[in-house]
Amino acid sequence: MKNILSLLFLFYLTNVSSQIIDMHTHSYTEEDYWGGNTHPTGVESPKSVEEHLEQTIKLMDKHGIEYAVVSGWSLEGVEKYVAADSRFIPGYMDEGNPIPVEQFEDLVKSGKIKVFGEVSGVYFGKTLNDPMYAPYLEICEKYNIPVAYHSGGAPPMAPFTCCPDFRISIGDPLLIEDVLVKYPKLRIYLMHAGEVYFEQAVRMMSMYKSLYVDLGAILWVDPLIKDYAIRFLKLAQTAGVLDRVMFGSDQMVWPGAITRSIDFINNLDFLSNEEKQMILYGNAKQFLNLK
């Protein structure tokens, strides 16, 4: 019996990451929280923002999440989550209409914005290459602030439910190539690893050695999108760019997506334990310049 327990413990150590950084979480206030409904995959959503925050922190504790980049529909929501737990790294979601440049720079200098993102211009018919973003990118490059850019698709029927200017084609990572050329010192990561454009994401990563991705929603939202994740990871493995692939849960209003996402990665038999640990922790630690 003792030998069996020892083997089980060894299996746990070699198959589950003990340290994780989540590059893609979200915050809310009472005014903008839209949860309460179970996701089609069966992941439940808390009824209130307080429950969402509490459950998110509990799952961070459970899974050994050392840090989590958080952005939301308001700066107040981000501040709320950061105040509740110092492991949250404050991001800024622009919602297609960024705050004034001067205010953005002040918040960067004060440490209240440490990541520019989720940059969600795609939902509003814009790419990161839009001139609107230029002064913000200049500030990010100046202060060495990472940029988290939404790539790929959106929830079903998005043009009819929330975002009339959204088009899947705008989420193609190739459309931001000029940004990578114009701002060579800028630290950018593609949220959702390009999603349907996963091949383009890998090609961009092979060309531009500073470009990272997070996996985000492709780890859990539905079978089609999860297939993109598998194909992306295999292609990234072949291309030798797995060292720039980072974990992100994109839990939105479903904290349980954190567990689903971690389990998905740990159950992929074509990834070595070392590669899983890189994705879940090591790559993000390097990208964020954490000691």
DSSP 173-200: GGGGHHHHHH-TT--EEEEGGGGGGHHH
Nearest to 120 by CA among 152, 78, 142: 152
Nearest to 119 by CA among 95, 90, 145, 87: 95
Mean confidence (pLDDT) of the chain: 93
Residue 285 has pLDDT above 80, yes or no: yes
Residue 1 has pLDDT above 80, yes or no: no
pLDDT digits (tens, 9 = 90+) for 19-56: 999 999 999 999 999 999 999 999 999 999 999 999 99
Determine which of 10-14, 67-71, 72-76, 111-115 has the lowest per-residue pLDDT on average: 10-14
Helix, strand or coil, per DSSP, at residue 124: helix
Q: What is the mean pLDDT of residues 135-146?
A: 98
* Predicted TM-score of the model (pTM): 0.92
Would the CA dihedral through 285, 230, 275, 199 be positive or negative?
A: negative
Residue 233 has pLDDT above 60, yes or no: yes
**pLDDT confidence bin for 18, thresholds 50/70/90:** low
Residue 180 has pLDDT above 60, yes or no: yes
